[in-house]
Structure 1
Amino acid sequence: MTGIQALERTMPDIPMKPGRCVKREFEYIRHGTQTLIASFNVATGAIDLATVGDPRTEQDLAAHVGKLIEQSPDATKYHLVMDCLNTHQSEALVRLVANLEPVPIELGCKGKSGILHSMITRSEFLADPTHRLVVHFTPKHCSWMNQIEIWFGILVRKLLRRGNFTSTEALKTRILEFVEYFNRTMAKPFQWTYKGKPLCN
């Protein structure tokens, strides 16, 4: 989740009274943005790992996935669901997946040859079901099918929409506190209700 804004309202809210809802100041000071990389466990409904920081590079994603793997080093298979963002099909992630394989793999040169030649060749390699870590990419324009998007909606509704953050550090702290609170009090598997029927006639 990129571009999470640390917004500080210039005036405090006017509290609710009988017959009147809270009134919120529309002017704000923007202190910058943060990026959240989160891993949602569909079996438990918890966030297994959350990384909040300034950049959103392919190295950040690969480091996050590396930490996720370290949590379950004895697992024989890892399945990750991601949308088609360019960092999800990066050289760094391909190298991480290749390093998990028992036999060395010749990756080629980025932009020139082999598996690293293009985003298409990299995504095909990452989606290979024979690898120890398999990435399942959602179809284009269908990232809503990934359950982490449901969780991002919860984060927006419960924390970000009405939040007041005096700095990017305050925003980062509040997000990580919310993740801990969510895991402790609200985490449960989501019930997927879509039956596969066409959404329109």
Structure 2
Amino acid sequence: MPALRARPVWLTAAERQRLKKLARGHKSPSRDKLRAQIVLGAARGLSNAQLARRCAVTVDTVRKWRGRFAADGLDGLADRKRSGRPPAFTPIQVAEVKALACQLPAQTGAPLSVWSCPDLAREAITAGIAETLSASTVRRWLAADTIKPWQHRSWIFIRDPDFRVKANLVLDLYAGVWEGRPLGDDEYVISSDEKTSIQARCRCHPTLPPGKARMMRVNHDYKRGGALAYLAAYDIHRAQVFGRCAASTGIEPFMALAEHVMTREPYASAKRVFWIVDNGSSHRGQASINRLAERFPNAVMVHTPVHASWLNQIEIYFSVVQRKVVSPNDFTNLAQVEQRLADFELRYNATARPFRWKFTPTDLDDLLQRIDQHQTATPALAQAA
């Protein structure tokens, strides 16, 4: 009976490079390394017996992977699908546990505020969904759909009756449009707000710098050195920040900030300067609009909707300040806080670029439509329950 000849193997340049990477990679799984070494040796003309001795495997193993590559290329080196153990739970049981995770615990009578995987497993057994169920199995099911009932976030319903109109004005200004007309070269948009209660916390022991395999360490104990407010105005198209510190917020500190900005060029001689503000007490209502216009005739105050400070771009800058300047809070006194904020402002303005604002009026319409659908569906679900 004639002996079986080993199947010839030819490699393209790309296949050879891929196999070499697998065979020599420090992080390659051992099974992938072995298969790559067999195919590379076969391409050099080595026999099955020679490859078996070199790789310390049986001839049948060499023949198997050599033949699979010859038939299917690189795809042939992957493990084939196995039937595996029959599932212990039906798709209906899996769906019922996921549906349970998407309910508030109070709706099921459980004395909990949020679900955990052990709680869900226990509740599923109590409800008769399954006779036995482990927390790890529940965790795997939930991970498939990225369901995390143990997490929560705060949010608030829109309650401003003119939300759409006010929000569209702000979004149009971000796009360089006012009342349907493009802004001119001598028109500017300023986003302004206050960051309140920035404390000076003097640590009782010095902060330790980071080192090898060690994070920066900040002592927990501190002495309070007072607090101040940081008022800032951000030119959204020129990416420039103008800030001031004050003992507290109020009408006078805000008007001092407006004076700080509006008395310098190009704003002093501009045709119009739009000031986007939220509904804080320092600049709330028609009185604040009249006050700013009376002091600076070319200033136009535009309010964001109630509870919509996220539409104000200055909040993005404040988040940068919080991450890079204020946290961790380790200041000797308020003068040091004020100097750090002023120095960071200069540093930021030297390299700043306008924020890439992506929320458009179309996104606003989608958001309001989803909220309307949610508000319509909530009473129906309450009646059904």
TM class by smaller structure = 0.7 to 0.9
The answer to which structure has the higher strand fraction is 1
SS class of match (2:338): helix
The answer to which structure has the higher helix fraction is 2
Q: Give the residue type in structure 1 aligned to 2:218.
A: R
Task: Output the CA distance in 2 between the equivalents of 1:92 and 1:141.
Answer: 18
Structure 1 residues 131-151: Cα deviation after superposition (integer angstroms, max 9, x where no partner): x32211111111011110000
Moved more, 35-44 or 15-24: 15-24
Correspondent of 1:51 among 244, 247, 265: 244
Match of 1:105 in 2: none
Gap runs ≥5 in structure 1: 102-131
Task: Output the CA distance in 1 between the equivalents of 2:343 and 2:207.
Answer: 23
Q: Give the residue type in structure 1 aligned to 2:244.
A: T
Shift of residue 92, structure 1, vs aligned partner: 6.5
Correspondent of 2:358 among 187, 193, 199: 193
Gap runs ≥5 in structure 2: 1-194, 375-385
Matched, 1:148 2:314: yes
Shift of residue 99, structure 1, vs aligned partner: 4.2
- The equivalences for 1:1-201 within 5 A come to 1-47=195-241, 49-71=242-264, 72-89=267-284, 91=287, 94-101=290-297, 132-185=298-351, 187-195=352-360, 196=363, 197-198=366-367
Structure 1 residues 135-191: Cα deviation after superposition (integer angstroms, max 9, x where no partner): 111111110111100000000100100242111111111111110111113x11000
Change (3 A) 1:76 1:25: same
Shift of residue 193, structure 1, vs aligned partner: 2.2
Structure 1 residues 90-135: Cα deviation after superposition (integer angstroms, max 9, x where no partner): 757633412444xxxxxxxxxxxxxxxxxxxxxxxxxxxxxx3221
Q: Give the residue type in structure 1 aligned to 2:281.
A: N
Task: Output the CA distance in 1 between the equivalents of 2:274 and 2:250.
Answer: 21
Task: Output the CA distance in 2 between the equivalents of 1:93 and 1:173.
Answer: 31
TM-score by structure 1 length? 0.76
Q: 2:199·2:329 contact (CA, 8 Å) conserved in 1?
A: no
Task: Output the CA distance in 2 between the equivalents of 1:45 and 1:73.
Answer: 18
**Structure 1 consecutive aligned stretches of length 4 or more whose deviation exceeds 4 Å:** 90-93
SS class of match (2:196): coil
Greater relative CO, 1 or 2 (CA 8 Å, sep 6+): 1
Change (3 A) 1:99 1:166: closer
Q: Flag the structure with larger Rg.
A: 2
Q: 2:202·2:224 contact (CA, 8 Å) conserved in 1?
A: yes
Task: Output the CA distance in 2 between the equivalents of 1:92 and 1:83.
Answer: 11
TM-score by structure 2 length? 0.41
Alignment size in residue pairs: 169
Q: 1:8·1:29 contact (CA, 8 Å) conserved in 2?
A: yes
Task: Output the CA distance in 2 between the equivalents of 1:62 and 1:16.
Answer: 42
Q: Give the residue type in structure 1 aligned to 2:293.
A: V
- Share of identical aligned residues, percent? 25
Moved more, 141-150 or 63-72: 63-72
Task: Output the CA distance in 2 between the equivalents of 1:10 and 1:139.
Answer: 43
SS class of match (2:294): helix
Q: 1:83·1:139 contact (CA, 8 Å) conserved in 2?
A: yes
Report the aligned-residue RMSD: 2.1
Task: Output the CA distance in 1 between the equivalents of 2:238 and 2:271.
Answer: 19
Task: Output the CA distance in 1 between the equivalents of 2:268 and 2:208.
Answer: 51
Change (3 A) 1:134 1:18: same
Match of 2:68 in 1: none
